């Protein structure tokens, strides 16, 4: 995570959870030490955003409707149906990532999702993000996997 988002290097942070899209929920040293501020690091979007506090997170986990909304459960079900596996789960080490990251023009559609090892998602995603994060919005980018 720190390779993709260098600003996180200066923050004492620990990954406490992750979701089906490989987004990492990170506890920071900000806020009350007994209820730290959480951020979500999303390599598919090239973003780190505030998530709330640890107590807010655990509160969300107690309500299925909130979990479904926060973790985009309808989108996950739509993707599973599109690959013919509506009742399947994900292997622990895998995520469903954007084939073309959103920050280089990828679309937020199930057709732009693929099953990928989470380490590969973050490894390749971090390399791409490092090359484009400082470009002005709208700059044409050509991805090549030569």
Average pLDDT of the residues of the chain: 89
Q: How many CB atoms lie within 10 A of CB 146?
A: 2
Q: Is pLDDT above 60 for 55?
A: yes
Q: Which residue has the tokens 């986990």?
A: 61
Q: Is pLDDT above 90 for 117?
A: yes
pLDDT band at 140 (very low <50, low <70, confident <90, very high): confident
Strand order through the sheet with 24-28 = 13-18, 24-28, 37-42, 47-53
| Residue 145, in any domain of the structure | no
pLDDT, mean of residues 7-31: 84
| Residue 1, in any domain of the structure | no
Q: What is the pLDDT of residues 24-49, one digit of tens each?
A: 999 888 888 889 999 999 999 999 99
Domain extent at residue 21: 6-132
Instruction: With H, G, I as helix, E, B as strand and everything else as coil, classify residue 144.
Output: coil
Q: Which residue has the tokens 């994060």?
A: 133
Q: What is the pLDDT of residues 59-105, one digit of tens each?
A: 999 999 999 999 999 999 999 999 998 888 899 999 999 999 998 88
Q: Is pLDDT above 70 for 145?
A: no
pLDDT band at 4 (very low <50, low <70, confident <90, very high): confident
| Residue 139, in any domain of the structure | no
Supply the pLDDT for residue 10.
Answer: 58
What are the Cα distances from residue 19, in Å, to 62, 72, 76, 107, 130?
Answer: 16, 10, 10, 19, 22
Q: Is pLDDT above 60 for 9?
A: no
What are the Cα distances from residue 125, in Å, to 10, 38, 96, 117, 133?
Answer: 21, 22, 13, 12, 11
| Residue 29, in any domain of the structure | yes
| Residue 55, in any domain of the structure | yes
Supply the pLDDT for residue 12.
Answer: 76
| Residue 143, in any domain of the structure | no
| Residue 47, in any domain of the structure | yes
What are the Cα distances from residue 79, in Å, to 8, 22, 68, 111, 124?
Answer: 31, 15, 14, 8, 22
Q: Report the domain count for the chain.
A: 1
Instruction: Give 17's strand partners.
Output: 25
| Residue 146, in any domain of the structure | no
Q: Is pLDDT above 90 for 7?
A: no
């Amino acid at each position: 995570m720190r390779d993709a988002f260098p600003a996180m290097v200066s923050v004492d942070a620990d990954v406490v959870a992750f979701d089906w899209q490989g987004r990492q929920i990170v506890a920071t040293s900000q806020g009350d030490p007994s209820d730290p501020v959480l951020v979500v690091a999303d390599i598919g979007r090239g973003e780190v955003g505030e998530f709330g506090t640890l107590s807010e997170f655990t509160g969300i986990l107690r309500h299925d409707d909130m979990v479904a909304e926060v973790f985009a459960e309808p989108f996950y079900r739509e993707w599973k149906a599109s690959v013919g596996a509506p009742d399947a789960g994900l292997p622990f080490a895998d995520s469903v990532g954007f084939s073309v990251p959103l920050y280089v023009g990828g679309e937020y559609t199930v057709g732009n999702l693929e099953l990928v090892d989470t380490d590969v998602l973050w490894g390749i995603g971090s390399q791409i993000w490092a090359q484009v994060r400082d470009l002005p919005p709208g700059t044409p980018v050509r991805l090549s996997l030569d």
